[in-house]
Chains A and B, each alone.
Chain A
């Protein structure tokens, strides 16, 4: 068996080595959690894969496996990609963290990039986007555009990523209207369009006139359009689902990162790093500001620029927790460690965080 590992590792090594000389293309593997057709999370990662193909042409060959459940199958799929000669593998869901680390240990010559996790190794880098930066901007827009002063949030699962987004949205909104209200409904699913639609309807019925979401498709926008509310797109530009409804969308743009990292592998400069890219790196983008007056769009643009240049941060103090206690004093900024594991709400969120 050991011979087998050595052989495979040697194979991977040769692949990486030879591709550096441009002889054989570097095989880049992708493991996706959803279907590439979701027009959300997985779709955007696949756009990144296509960007690699486009930018590096014959020097690379990409291959992907979609709808890989986070469970006993993950390790096998990653292993297969290595065995099939992939020298660089992107594993694009949090649940792939431990399997990625396990496989990386067995194949030290292959290189791995894991999205949204926190475990690294010599041949495993991590990366994620600071999507909460975009949430701050849409929070401000929501507060400006809302007549009722209430927004509705269709949320998937209470993981830090989603909680951070809710808080950031709320802080943005409160910076415009301190009395802004936010209602949250958890649908416990990434993809159940019907349930998302119901949640959006319920929220609108409860007085929300702005709908935002952290689930993976465009139904909340469609519902908002139907009911005359406004909404924001998620992960990709969803304007075609609500030409008169979408204000903007937070876009996950993995393309620059993917191309850069693949190039690094090709020229031998790749190192294990932890990247949490924000607007400054282009990983978080905003769709065009539409369906709003020019002054609101200008304000949004200004905030976007300030965040991009680092002049401001969504979690600049003072920030109070839901129970009124001070979380971040004035003049301080919440550090990345606290952001990464966030499990509390800021003041004003009308919901109890599931414990």
Chain B
């Protein structure tokens, strides 16, 4: 007897809705087991983790602050991943954007103008785009694997930031500590409420909405979806493979850069050796949590933000170690991926091992580079 997956004739609508809920339910279940095993009251722990952050106004605001960069980056990555392009270097693009955008408050601190903030934002996006353009170029020109080049560039960006804040961009009055000057008020994003939620949150919502429309309603968006789902059919819309690569990397890089400049001109207010606690990597989870849909990234970003804040609350209120939060996030992602399989596949229990069906499978023969031949290849 063995368990096999069977492709559904079409994606299951019901499962599309049920799968994230099922994933969250499984995480809660296994989370409870984890907590109980470590000697905590599981119900209370789960409450502190998932419900607690939503019960006070200030923590809801903090939730929004935390989700902002995740949504911005996650929405961009969703598009990339849809096109079967694996930009996993958003963290580096975030840093590059922060550096480019921060050049204004650091090099021209006295420039107090209504144009300053827009200029910083644009520079931030360009910086992120430039950093993302490298793997796009290397892929288009040399066929270099974008996963690895984009990842390697994360480290390079980190060292570049490190060098700048310890060297040329160091605050001259900061006793040689590694940080830039604190940005002047006119170089900080407008904030709302308690002074923590910043303009970036508005951008995040707009970006998610615009990208969703772009993907669903435009030819270009269609082309991106086709490329991911049936690469051989792509190109019929008149767009080249290289062109979509540039576009996807450009969008996701620009958004990561935007997230970067929003962080340094928002909650951080200066450059320092660490400006992101790994948002670029976490956003990959956000993109998947949102089922590679830009609007879904809004949901994904909030869920991840709850995970973080809940983890912190659990540390303060229950003395549960922060590592538990990390295990938790890993688990959540495992369950999401598992449940997602149910959208495209049906689980069937078989009594005997199936013989291979030579005839059908041989369609793929003689086509060694057929990334396309396998429609299942896009199951995610």
Contact = CB atoms under 8 A, between A and B. Distances in A.
Q: A and B: direct contact (Cβ < 8 Å)? A: yes
Contacts, number: 96
A160 B270 contact: no
B267 A75 contact: yes
Interface stretch (B176-184, B205-213, B247-255): B176-184
B193 A1 contact: yes
B275 to A, nearest CB: 5
Interface in A283-332: none
B312 A65 contact: yes
Contacts of B376: none
Interface string B157-196: 0010010001100000001111100100000000001111
Interface stretch (B58-66, B78-86, B341-349, B365-373): B58-66
Contacts of A66: 315, 321-322
B149 to A, nearest CB: 22
A160 B177 contact: yes
A65 B277 contact: no
A198 interface: no
Contacts of B273: 70, 95, 157
A123 to B, nearest CB: 18
A159 B166 CA distance: 8
Contacts of B274: 69-71, 95
A159 B178 contact: yes
A72 to B, nearest CB: 4
Given A76-B62, A98-B182, A67 B322 contact: yes
B21 interface: no
Interface in A52-110: 63-67, 69-73, 75-77, 79-81, 83-84, 94-95, 98, 106
A63 B276 contact: no
A4 B316 contact: no
Contacts of B193: 1
Interface string B264-276: 0011111011111
A84 B166 contact: no
B304 to A, nearest CB: 13
B183 to A, nearest CB: 11
Contacts of B263: 71-72
Contacts of B270: 98
A118 interface: yes
A205 interface: no
A341 interface: yes
The size class of the interface chain A forms with chain B is 35 or more
B57 interface: yes
A340 B316 CA distance: 33
Contacts of B275: 71-72
Nearest to A340: B175
A168 B30 CA distance: 53
B317 interface: yes
Contacts of A67: 322
Given A70-B272, A71-B274, A94-B177, A1 B194 contact: yes
Contacts of A354: 166-167
Interface centre among B276, B315, B317 (most CB of A within 10 A): B315
Given A67-B322, A77-B312, A98-B182, A72 B175 contact: no
Nearest to B178: A159
B176 A159 contact: yes
Nearest to A8: B58
Interface in A145-175: 157-160, 163
A73 B276 CA distance: 9
Contacts of B272: 70-71, 95
A4 B276 contact: no
Contacts of B179: 95
A195 B178 CA distance: 22
B316 A71 contact: no
B162 A188 contact: yes
A342 interface: yes
A47 interface: no
A197 to B, nearest CB: 20
Contact of A84 (B177, B182, B316, B321): B316
A343 interface: yes
B313 interface: yes
A65 B195 CA distance: 23
B322 A80 contact: no
A4 B277 contact: no
A355 interface: yes
A106 B195 CA distance: 10
Nearest to A160: B176
A65 B319 CA distance: 9
Contacts of A83: 56, 58
- A-B pairs with the 9 shortest C-beta distances? A341-B175, A72-B267, A69-B277, A343-B176, A71-B274, A341-B176, A160-B176, A76-B62, A65-B315
Given A71-B268, A71-B274, A84-B317, 7 more contacts: A4-B58, A4-B194, A71-B276, A73-B66, A80-B316, A95-B272, A95-B274
17 contacts: A1-B57, A1-B193, A29-B316, A66-B315, A67-B322, A72-B69, A76-B65, A76-B196, A80-B62, A80-B312, A80-B313, A98-B270, A157-B273, A160-B177, A163-B176, A340-B175, A354-B167
Interface of A: 1, 4-5, 29, 63-67, 69-73, 75-77, 79-81, 83-84, 94-95, 98, 106, 118, 157-160, 163, 188, 340-343, 354-355
